[in-house]
């Protein structure tokens, strides 16, 4: 019989015990990541009353929502490396505990710079992804790692939880209650995670591996390509999850609760369906799933890019005016499809990583996660700048459409031309192994 201490940090588990521990780690880690993502996306809702109170323009609002994303992105590489070296259990617990005071203090901010500064510390929660991904993956065999990482990545649905929970709190008690509730939830999650997670010494990277050696992955062109893919499927997801509530309010004149509910039609499938994306990547290969994700994204963003337009045609019977534009139902349907595609894409990119870098998942996932997070930081600011410059809200989708074009072209020249995509030829690279 194993004591609690040996169960959590002693000798490697065996047989059925290992399987139970693996599922316990997966479940509690997914819960922790969901809460972290909910906190990370907090400004997507409370930013709206803050914007009104401080009289912010679109660019300032974009910077406000993006500040937590910046910190959560920059810490991903060191967190991934520390996870490889010290284990996911201790790193995740410390990370979540450090965010609790900052979340609580958010309720007492009064100036714009207060929100920006505190947002940097709250953003540490976003680094949880590069901790949990390698931590969870190493508890499962390679044939099931895509599914396991997909289930863990479903914690992205914390963005949707935020859209359900925060508006109700704002309406009932005011926005300052949201960070207080979230701080309490985070503290409870830290305790729960610690008691139901485990450690396995076999999962640690050899202490002989130097920090500088792990960072050499930054020079790998394959890693850079995965960074580009992830900057869309994750960076774009984060950016739009932060942007959509105020988009619905401004474009369609909706109440904040209705706007948040409709925005969740994008955030929710973009999170929970990631597990399905992991299973599809295990079955069909990361390349094939990612290729189709990019094409679906291209089509959806093309349609979403078109602004509300009235134009006049001079016919033989006189001038006739026509209107082109998406109503709220068509817009929400396209956003839901985009959310599903990006859920699959987030899982498929990390299937690439587990296939090609099985001994360095933490570092590589940290680097790729950094790129995705930086996309989530830069894009909301660019959305706001474009809207201030052009006055066209759909310019956000025009920008994303161009970014997807870059990935499609890159993917074609580096992958598609070397193999037949639709299953006719054997793959030329381990990335395409089924």
Q: pLDDT tens across 257-306, in order? A: 899 899 988 888 877 787 788 788 888 888 888 889 999 999 999 999 98
- Which residue segments constitute the domains of the chain, with CATH numbers given? 18-198+215-432 (1.20.1250.20)
What's the pLDDT score for residue 351? 83
Higher-confidence residue of 232 and 274: namely 232
| Residue 3 pLDDT | 42
Backbone angles phi, psi at 381, to 5 degrees: -65, -40
Whether 211 has a pLDDT exceeding 90, the answer reads: no
Could you report the per-residue pLDDT of 108-125, keeping only the tens digit for each?
999 999 999 999 999 999
Q: For 311-353, write each residue's pLDDT tens digit.
A: 889 888 888 888 888 899 999 999 999 999 998 998 888 888 8
How far is it, in rounded angstroms, from Cα 119 to Cα 123?
6
3-class secondary-structure state, position 342? helix
Of 99, 78, 106, 111, nearest in space to 35 by CA: 99
> Would you tell me how many other CB atoms lie within 10 Å of the CB of residue 323?
8
Q: Name the least confident of 20-29, 43-52, 74-83, 228-237.
A: 74-83
Bigger pLDDT: 397 or 5?
Answer: 397
Specify the pLDDT at position 421. 42
CA–CA gap between residue 402 and residue 166 (Å, rounded): 32
Residue 212: what pLDDT? 66
CB count, 10 Å around CB of 420?
11
Which residue matches tokens 């369609």?
A: 252
In terms of Cα–Cα distance, which of 68, 71, 59 is closest to 106? Answer: 68
pTM for the structure as a whole: 0.76
Q: Report the run of H or E that residue 108 belongs to, with start and end.
A: none
% of the chain exceeding 90 in pLDDT: 38
Q: Which two tokens stand for residue 428?
A: 């030329």
Residue 292 tokens read as: 């189709």
- pLDDT for 250 beyond 50: yes
Report how far residue 249's alpha carbon sits from residue 251's, in angstroms, rounded to the nearest whole number.
6
Residues linked to residue 315 through DSSP beta bridges, in sequence order: 318
CA-nearest of 434, 432, 382, 380 to 411 is 432
243-250 long-range contacts (CB < 8 A, ≥24 apart) are 243/44, 243/62, 243/65, 243/380, 243/383, 243/396, 244/44, 244/335, 245/44, 245/45, 245/48, 245/163, 246/47, 246/48, 246/51, 246/61, 247/393, 247/396, 248/328, 249/48, 250/393
């Amino acid at each position: 019989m194993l004591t609690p201490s040996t169960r959590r940090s002693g000798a490697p588990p065996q047989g059925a015990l290992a399987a139970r521990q693996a599922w316990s780690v997966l479940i509690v880690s997914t819960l922790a990541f969901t809460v972290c993502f909910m906190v990370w996306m907090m400004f997507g809702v409370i930013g709206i009353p803050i914007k009104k109170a401080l009289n912010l323009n679109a660019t300032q609002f974009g910077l406000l929502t993006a500040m937590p994303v910046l910190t959560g992105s920059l810490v991903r590489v060191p967190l991934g490396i520390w996870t490889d070296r010290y284990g996911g259990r201790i790193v995740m617990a410390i990370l979540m505990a450090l965010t609790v005071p900052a979340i609580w203090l958010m309720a007492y901010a009064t100036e714009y710079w207060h929100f920006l500064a505190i947002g940097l510390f709250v953003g540490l929660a976003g680094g949880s992804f590069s901790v949990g991904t390698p931590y969870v993956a190493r508890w499962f065999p390679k044939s099931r790692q895509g599914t396991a990482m997909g289930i863990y990545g479903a914690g992205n649905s914390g963005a949707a939880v935020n859209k359900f929970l925060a508006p109700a709190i704002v309406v009932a008690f005011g926005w300052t209650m949201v960070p207080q509730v979230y701080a309490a939830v985070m503290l409870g999650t830290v305790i729960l995670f610690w008691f139901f997670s485990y450690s396995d010494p076999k999962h640690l990277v050899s202490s002989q591996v130097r920090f500088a050696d792990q960072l050499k992955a930054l020079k790998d062109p394959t890693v850079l390509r995965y960074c580009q893919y992830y900057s869309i499927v994750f960076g774009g997801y984060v950016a739009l999850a932060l942007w959509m509530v105020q988009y619905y309010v401004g474009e369609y004149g909706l109440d904040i609760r209705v706007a948040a509910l409709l925005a969740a039609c994008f955030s929710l499938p973009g999170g929970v369906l990631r597990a399905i994306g992991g299973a599809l990547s295990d079955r069909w290969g990361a390349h094939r799933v990612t290729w189709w994700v990019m094409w679906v994204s291209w089509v959806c963003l093309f349609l979403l890019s078109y602004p509300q337009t009235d134009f006049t045609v001079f016919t033989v019977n006189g001038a006739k005016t026509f209107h082109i534009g998406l109503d709220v139902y068509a817009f929400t349907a396209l956003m839901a499809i985009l959310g599903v595609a990006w859920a699959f894409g987030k899982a498929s990119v990390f299937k690439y990583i587990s296939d090609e870098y099985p001994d360095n998942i933490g570092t590589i996932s940290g680097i790729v996660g950094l790129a995705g997070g930086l996309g989530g930081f830069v894009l909301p600011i660019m959305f706001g700048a474009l809207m201030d410059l052009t006055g066209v809200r759909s310019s956000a989708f025009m920008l994303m459409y161009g970014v997807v074009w870059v990935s499609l072209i890159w993917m074609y020249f580096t992958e598609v031309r070397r193999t037949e995509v639709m299953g006719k030829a054997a793959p030329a690279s381990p990335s395409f192994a089924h």
